[in-house]
Amino acid sequence: MDDPNPQPSGAAPAYGAPHPQDIPVVQEPAKLGPMQRLVGVLFSPGETFEDMNRKPTWIAPLLIAIATAVALSLFYDWRVKPDYAQITRQQMKARAEKTGTEMPPEATVQTAVKVSSVVNWVSAIVGPVVTVFFVSGVFALGLLFLQAKTTFKKTLSVVCWTFCSVGLIGAVVIAASVFVKDPASLKDVPWYYASRYAATNLAAALSSDASAVVKAIAGAVDVFSIWRLFLLTIGLTAIAGSRKITRGKIGSLVVGLWLIGVLIGVGFAAMGFGG
C-alpha cells in the first residue's frame, strides 16, 4: 500500500526534526566589567541593570561595600574618637527608663561596653553582608508575589551593586560632613549613626537633645535613601522577566518595604535602641 504522506526524497525523517524546546538558548555575555558597573549604576542604570540581567554578579560589590564601611569607621574613630563606653551607658539608661526598670549593675555595664567595642568593628565587616542578603531575600519574596520570572542571584546582584555604588558616594559625603563638624559634638554618636548628621538628611537640622524617635524619622528622609529606592526600582524592573511587571508595581513594592523598615527602625528607637 502506498504511504498516504510521502516524504520528498532526501528529506529528514519527521522524528529527527528538532523541537524548539530542544534548541539550546545562547545567552548574551555581559558587556560591563566591575568598574563600569560601579559607575554605570549611578549614571546609566538602565543599561547597567540590563547587563546584570544577562550576567548577575555580587562578590565584587560586596567586597567594595565592606571596604567602604571599614574605611569610614576608621576615619570616624580617628577624627571623632567617640566615647563608646559612655555611648553604651546612655543606651542602657535610655532602655531602662523606657521599660521602667533599674539601671543594670556596673559589672553588667562593663561587660556591655566590651561587647559593644567588638560589635562596632564586626558591624563594619558583617553589617554589609547581612544587610544585602536580608534586603535581597525580602525583595525576592516580593518579586515572587508579583510572579516575576527571575532568580535570587539577579536580585542579589541588583541590591549589591546599588548599595555599593550609592554607599561609596554616601561615605565620602558623610566623611566630609564629619570632618567639618566639631568632633566634641559627636562624642556620643557611634560611627554607624554618623549618616544622620550629614547634610543630606533632615536629622542634620535637629538639635542634639532631640529624641531618638525624631532622629530616626528625620534620618530616614535622606537624599541617598531616595536615590537608592529609585535605582532599586529600575534594577528590579530590569530583572523581573515579565512585561506585566511594570516599573510602577516595582516602585510600590520598593517604597512599601522601605516604609516598613522605617517603622521598624522607629520602633527600636522608641525602645531605646537608637542614636
pTM (2 d.p.): 0.79
Task: Look at residue 252 and tell me if it is in a domain.
Answer: yes
Q: Could you tell me the pLDDT band of residue 158, with boundaries at 50, 70 and 90?
A: very high
Q: CA-CA-CA-CA torsion for 264, 268, 269, 272, nearest 10 degrees? A: 170
Task: Look at residue 21 and tell me if it is in a domain.
Answer: no
Contact 56, 29 (CB under 8 A): no
- HSE-CB for 264 with a 13 A CA cutoff: 6
Task: Look at residue 238 and tell me if it is in a domain.
Answer: yes
**What integer pLDDT is reported at residue 111 of this predicted model?**
81
Task: Look at residue 224 and tell me if it is in a domain.
Answer: yes
Task: Look at residue 22 and tell me if it is in a domain.
Answer: no
Percent of the chain with pLDDT over 90: 47
Q: Could you tell me the pLDDT band of residue 23, with boundaries at 50, 70 and 90?
A: very low
d(CA 91, CA 271): 10
Task: Look at residue 157 and tell me if it is in a domain.
Answer: yes
Q: Which residue range forms the structural domain that includes residue 181? A: 31-114+126-270
Q: Of the ranges 156-160, 209-213, 224-228, which is most confident?
A: 156-160
Average pLDDT, the chain: 83
Task: Look at residue 5 and tell me if it is in a domain.
Answer: no
d(CA 265, CA 240): 29
pLDDT at 139 over 80: yes
Question: Residue 222 forms beta bridges with which residues?
Answer: 201
Task: Look at residue 265 and tell me if it is in a domain.
Answer: yes
pLDDT one-digit tens code per residue, 67-106: 999 999 999 989 988 877 777 777 777 777 777 777 777 7
When divided into structural domains, the chain yields a total of: 1
d(CA 34, CA 219): 31
C-alpha cell at 234: 529600575
**What integer pLDDT is reported at residue 24 of this predicted model?**
43
3-state helix, strand, coil in the chain (%, to 5): 70, 0, 25
pLDDT one-digit tens code per residue, 161-209: 999 999 999 999 999 989 988 888 888 888 777 887 777 877 777 766 7
d(CA 256, CA 223): 17
d(CA 268, CA 213): 9
Number of Cβ within 10 Å of residue 112's Cβ equals 17
Number of Cβ within 10 Å of residue 161's Cβ equals 31
Of 155-164, 204-213, 221-230, least confident by mean pLDDT is 204-213
